[in-house]
């Protein structure tokens, strides 16, 4: 199929879903866990590797900017808002583990993205860890 003739959203059978070995899946899961750990570490308001400075505050929304102490060439931004709700409610806003929920998530938070796909689930939610999920997505 010519790439110039593609229309979005792409048909559900467009992607060849990756065949992975258990070792590759473990490596992808470790990458996901490292990314999550880095996100939690880097978004610490105090005591983390980024010194955050309040840039703007309006209607309960705070925008901070900062630079990684080890890489001052990069500027990063973080927004902070206090909302009422439970962790379960917050987690439910970010469910994106099926094609339907991923499309809904993208429509809600990334309006400039014209298409997306769940390619493979590597670590699905479980009864013990209902909010856990690691997957390969496009």
Domain locations in the chain? 48-82, 85-138
Per residue in 76-90, pLDDT (tens digit) is 999 999 999 999 999
pLDDT band at 4 (very low <50, low <70, confident <90, very high): low
- Percentage of the chain exceeding pLDDT 70: 94
User: Mind listing the pLDDT tens digit for each residue in 104-122?
Assistant: 999 999 999 999 999 999 9
Predicted local confidence at residue 16, as pLDDT: 85
Q: Does pLDDT of 35 surpass 90?
A: yes
- Kindly write down the DSSP assignment for every residue of 9-68, as one continuous string: SPPTT-S-PPP--HHHHHHHHHHHHHHHHHHHHHT-SSSSSEEEEEEEEETTEEEEEEEE
């Amino acid at each position: 199929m010519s790439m110039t003739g593609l229309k979005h959203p792409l048909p559900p059978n467009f992607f060849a879903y990756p065949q992975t070995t258990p070792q590759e899946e473990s490596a992808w899961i470790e990458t996901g866990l490292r990314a999550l750990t880095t996100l939690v570490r880097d978004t610490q308001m105090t005591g983390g590797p980024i010194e955050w400075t309040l840039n703007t505050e309006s209607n309960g929304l705070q925008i901070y900017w900062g630079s990684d102490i080890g890489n001052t060439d990069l500027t990063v931004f973080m927004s902070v808002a206090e909302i009422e709700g439970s962790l379960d409610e917050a987690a439910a806003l970010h469910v994106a583990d099926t094609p339907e929920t991923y499309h809904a998530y993208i429509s809600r938070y990334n309006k400039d993205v014209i298409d997306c796909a769940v390619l493979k689930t590597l670590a699905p939610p479980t009864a013990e860890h209902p909010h856990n999920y690691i997957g390969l997505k496009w």
